[in-house]
Amino acid sequence: MSSGGEQGGSSDRGCLYVVATPIGNLGDITLRAVETLRGADRILAEDTRRARALLGHLGVSGKPVDRFDAHASETDAARAAARLAAGESIAFMTDAGTPVVSDPGTALVRAATEAGARVVAIPGPSAVMVAVSASGLVTGGFRFVGFLPRGGRERREALALVTSTPEAVVLFESPRRFRETLADLAERMPGRRAVVARELTKVHEEILSGSVEELAAIEREWLGEITLVLAPAAPAAEGARPSDEELDARIDRELAQGRRAKHIAEELSVELGLPRREIYARAVARRGEPSG
């Protein structure tokens, strides 16, 4: 089949097409994506029922549709790679948006590459790019962190990474944990501008902007798919340095949560505009941990 571009690779091997699909509005499917789905020998999907519904809407029929989700095994990936090596063309699609962006597919792409098959991305909808373009907060680079961990040390470290990143940040969050996430961010980065992009491209699309404190104060039930865009960190105002007592109290609170001196220093240096070495030395001294 043709996908609209020259590709390298062995001519006797198949091709894995990584196909972006609509995140809501079905009109966002590209002509190239439809052509690819129609021409593929087989379709792998995160959810076969949702895939078949979309294929039916597009008038694509007669295709074997197999499941390949986050729980797919190495055997599943090897089976797909064997089919590609035998010359099959396979289109891979997730529930919505661009595969492998906080979605399954990494193992499949890797297996296809190792089998010597071509891998062709069919670009299209992405909640990340839709939210960035609608936010008005991003003028240069940004960091995409996907979904935050649910809890424990991993979540604390992920929040520290978000807080210590001077560039704009884009993340996904479950509606069940979104209020907690906003509260955590409001405590860690007061005054930072943010945009909540919810149910993008769907009937109930909603885009809200404000400081993280203002958004955290909204009393409501959050529903649907949520993307949060955080503006770049504002430079610390001159003369805004906290007193030594205030700085030590902040460090003590972070240490009490089990956080390491290194991570505290990375976060507070960006938030407060202070030298990272100074904060690290204070944290090490107050906790008494090795400085290596």
Condensed to tens digits (0 to 9), the pLDDT of residues 75-117 reads 999 999 999 999 999 999 999 999 999 999 999 999 999 999 9
269 has pLDDT over 90: no
Contact status, residue 34 vs residue 58, Cβ threshold 8 Å: yes
Say what the pLDDT of residue 10 is: 43
Say what the pLDDT of residue 165 is: 87
Angstrom distance (rounded) from CA 17 to CA 19: 6
Strands of the sheet containing 226-230, edge to edge, are 142-147, 168-173, 226-230, 193-198, 206-211
Residue % of the chain over a pLDDT of 70: 91
Question: 110: helix, coil or strand?
Answer: helix
Say what the pLDDT of residue 6 is: 40
More confident residue, 288 or 236: 288
Angstrom distance (rounded) from CA 82 to CA 13: 10
Q: Encoding tokens for residue 229?
A: 């865009």
> The pTM is what?
0.79
Say what the pLDDT of residue 263 is: 84
Q: What angle separates helix 261-272 from helix 152-164, to the nearest 10 degrees?
A: 30
pLDDT confidence tier of residue 236, bands split at 50, 70 and 90: low
Q: Encoding tokens for residue 89?
A: 């063309």
DSSP class of 288: T
End-to-end CA distance of the chain: 57
- Looking at residue 193, its amino acid is R
Residue % of the chain over a pLDDT of 90: 70
Residue range 266-289: mean pLDDT, rounded: 83
Contact status, residue 221 vs residue 256, Cβ threshold 8 Å: no
Contact status, residue 33 vs residue 120, Cβ threshold 8 Å: no
Say what the pLDDT of residue 151 is: 84
Contact status, residue 133 vs residue 30, Cβ threshold 8 Å: no
Condensed to tens digits (0 to 9), the pLDDT of residues 157-180 reads 888 889 888 899 999 999 999 999
Angstrom distance (rounded) from CA 104 to CA 107: 8
Say what the pLDDT of residue 8 is: 41
More confident residue, 205 or 2: 205
Residue range 51-67: mean pLDDT, rounded: 96
Say what the pLDDT of residue 101 is: 92
Say what the pLDDT of residue 267 is: 78
Residue range 112-137: mean pLDDT, rounded: 97
Identify the CA nearest to 125 among candidates 87, 97, 90, 155.
Answer: 97
> How many H helices and E strands in the chain?
11, 10
238 has pLDDT over 60: no
DSSP class of 97: B
Say what the pLDDT of residue 95 is: 95
For the chain, give the mean pLDDT: 90
pLDDT confidence tier of residue 226, bands split at 50, 70 and 90: very high
Condensed to tens digits (0 to 9), the pLDDT of residues 1-22 reads 545 444 444 456 799 999 999 9
Q: Encoding tokens for residue 238?
A: 């001159």
CA dihedral sign of residues 45, 58, 146, 47: negative
